Amino acid sequence: QGQLDESGGGLVQAGGSLRLSCAASGRNISDYNMAWYRQAPGKYREIVASIIWSGANINYATYSVQHRFPIIRDNDKNPLYLQMNSLGPQDTAMYSCNSDGHSGPYSFNWGPGTQVTASS
């Protein structure tokens, strides 16, 4: 299995923005339907957004993230992005990327994730 590495998280004030990046080694992200996930303290990991390998179909878990967190992929350069806008305390979580679990078993080993903290 390939290995993932997420980056771009940080501490921002409410209303701020961050751009998360996901890079892979061992396998090409461009070959897979991919997704961003998050896990808040004391909660289960949940999917945030998913995008098929061609980029032609995108799904968001909630109406809230649909209009604030566009998921972007650049198959020429391999990475996957999550542009996070209008962040709020409810978005505070550890964010990770992996293949879309709805498509079958995860295709990559989970990376360390990147922490996003939005203060009120």
Give the N- to C-terminal CA distance of the chain in Å, as an integer.
39
Q: Give residue 14's pLDDT.
A: 96
User: Which residue matches tokens 């501490």?
Assistant: 11
Q: Is the separation of the CB atoms in 33 and 99 below 8 Å?
A: yes
Rounded to the nearest 5 degrees, what angle is found at the Cα of 118, between the Cα atoms of 15 and 61? Answer: 85
Q: Give residue 55's pLDDT.
A: 84
Q: Give residue 71's pLDDT.
A: 95
pLDDT in tens, the chain (120 residues): 889 999 999 999 999 999 999 999 999 898 899 999 999 999 999 999 999 988 888 999 998 899 999 999 987 777 899 999 999 999 999 999 999 988 788 989 999 999 999 998
